[in-house]
Chain A
Amino acid sequence: MDDRTAPPIVGVIEQVAAQAPDRPALIHEDGAVGYGRLVAEARGLAAQFACAGLRPGDAVGVTLAEERAAIPVSLALLRLGCRQVALPPRDPAPVREDLATRLSLVAVVGTSPLDAVGGAAIVVPDLEAAAREGEGPAAPPSLAGDVVVGTSGTTGRPKLMLADQGQLVHQAATLAGYGTVFHRQVPFDSNYGKRLTLRSLVTGGTEVLGADLTPEGLAELCARHGVTRVHMPPQVAEALFAAGARIGATWPDATRIFTTGARIPQALRLGLQQRLGCGVHVQYGATEAGMVTIAGPEEHAAHPDTVGHVLPGVEVILVDEDGRPVPQGEEGLVRIRSAGAIDRYLDDPAATARHCIDGWYQPGDVGRFAPWGALLVAGRRDDMMTLGTIKILPAEIEAVAEGFPGLRDCAAFPVRAPALGDIPVLAVVGDAGFDAAGLLAHCRARLGLRAPRKVVAVDAIPRNAMGKVLRQQLAEMAR
């Protein structure tokens, strides 16, 4: 499918509704929402928003805790051709205020006048009325509606970008190939969550809603509704692994787990597969580039650190610091070209110049291709430590440390010494009586000069919402 000429997202969903109005689009605790009903809600809401004065091209915030309402609201805004941005209620008011001002929001769709940040008008959606009002014919949906998404950065304020409709649902068919009854432990008002829901809807899939579930609750939900694909951040995967002994018997074998991150510890992946009896798949990609690869059990069996083969329709090349392609098999900076990739950031020419180069998106990851064609990602260029002339990536240290007896979690970070460079140090969360000296020797024996020189015990590894290690914070904690 060429995404530049693809029909609007809402148009595709309306085609599904025309053919199978009763097929469940969403399943929530009170029952199922068929495609016909969802489309009617989106049409009715779009009419309500138009009455409230919203016009195509307007930038509109959404502050709704209820995903059951947030999903049709999002479709309605796409339908109208508005530019939408999630202002999650869990975000502090100043953060939402800042975004509202930065994007010149004309309105916020919310439930309380307090949601109207940055001088925007408040628009309160009425879902029941919308379902009634939206039954009749409607104007064709717009292709202009887009979504402002932000990166879950590890430093500074998030970089913003626009995802058009093609980018939002890029690789939808690929994901549907892994299962069409899906659940996510990622909120809809995150970029990742919203894209998963939209991809499911344009492929006629069924989404089972449910947030903040216990491992037992998640297993029960998947079994009850026949979920074939469940997406979760690494932290939820870890919690499932920890509960694996209790829930292993109830976890359906057909419920595949999808998680994200360039490197999920092998012990976690294998342990989850063994305890739950299901496949674990790791997606590699970026908010800016969409999905790039998916590695499942077979890919991981070939190499534990692979992120898998590059998906059809996506190109990856590896270049040196000057942008020249590196010889086959050598390490280089990852560059991605895809219809799912952005070509600029919003109001950030410096970041655009750094990451969007000659039609490629360069996330700053360092990788190489295995002889059999799979991509291996070693870590982030910005995380690379230079000790004298020795280049060290935190991920290689963490890979060696993981699995050491009593080690629960770890992350490598640099202590900067002017005369020496970056001294690699390993922060660990260990069981009582953890053998730090033993771990140092273990790393030294395997990594030589690239080994950590010190192990510091911490209560927890600081991470952002997507599970990325906040290394700067670690360095400050260790000071």
Chain B
Amino acid sequence: MSRDVAAMRALVVRAVLANPVTLFPDDATRARLEDPAADCTFEELGFDSLARMEFCIWMQLEAGIEIAEAALLDHPSVAALAAHLAGR
């Protein structure tokens, strides 16, 4: 289970970094993103409604994971969303 969460977290981070409408995160945020023990909220990452849509599109096309924008509001950080997706 925890390995699944870790893999899902890595996938969520890839989706965040591939997002075409958000700014590339600064070094400190990037370090936190890549540290499996750290967390980062979508608000900190500059996610708005459009960014959430692009995130969901990437997950659908690149990972085949169906996810609605609301999931990013209900699970508003990288770790929380990864745990949610791994557990569903």
Contacts and interface: CB of A to CB of B under 8 A. Distances in A.
Interface of A: 387-388, 415, 417-420, 423, 425, 444, 449, 453-454
A294 to B, nearest CB: 40
Given A387-B57, A417-B57, A419-B67, 11 more contacts: A415-B60, A417-B56, A418-B66, A419-B56, A419-B69, A420-B53, A420-B56, A423-B61, A453-B61, A454-B61, A454-B62
B66 A415 contact: no
Interface of B: 20, 50, 53-54, 56-58, 60-62, 66-69
Contacts of B68: 419-420
A360 to B, nearest CB: 38
Contacts of B56: 417, 419-420
A4 B19 CA distance: 61
B61 A449 contact: no
A285 B54 CA distance: 38
Contacts of A454: 61-62
A419 B62 CA distance: 16
Contacts of A415: 60-61
B61 A420 contact: no
Contact of A423 (B20, B50, B60, B69): B60
Given A388-B53, A449-B50, A417 B60 contact: yes
Residue of B20, B53, B56, B57 most packed against chain A (CB within 10 A): B57
A421 to B, nearest CB: 10
22 contacts: A387-B53, A387-B57, A388-B53, A415-B60, A415-B61, A417-B56, A417-B57, A417-B66, A418-B66, A419-B56, A419-B67, A419-B69, A420-B56, A420-B60, A420-B68, A423-B61, A425-B61, A444-B20, A453-B58, A453-B61, A454-B61, A454-B62
The 9 closest A-B pairs by CB, nearest first: A419-B68, A417-B60, A454-B61, A453-B57, A423-B57, A420-B56, A444-B20, A453-B61, A388-B53
Contacts of A388: 53
Contacts of B60: 415, 417, 420, 423
A44 B60 CA distance: 66
A415 B59 CA distance: 13
Nearest to B60: A417
Nearest to B21: A449
Contact of B66 (A387, A419, A425): A419
A38 to B, nearest CB: 58
B3 to A, nearest CB: 27
Nearest to B67: A419
B88 to A, nearest CB: 14
Nearest to A390: B53
Contacts of A418: 66
Contacts of B57: 387, 417, 420, 423, 453
A478 to B, nearest CB: 9
A452 B46 CA distance: 22
A392 B70 CA distance: 23
Contacts of A423: 57, 60-61
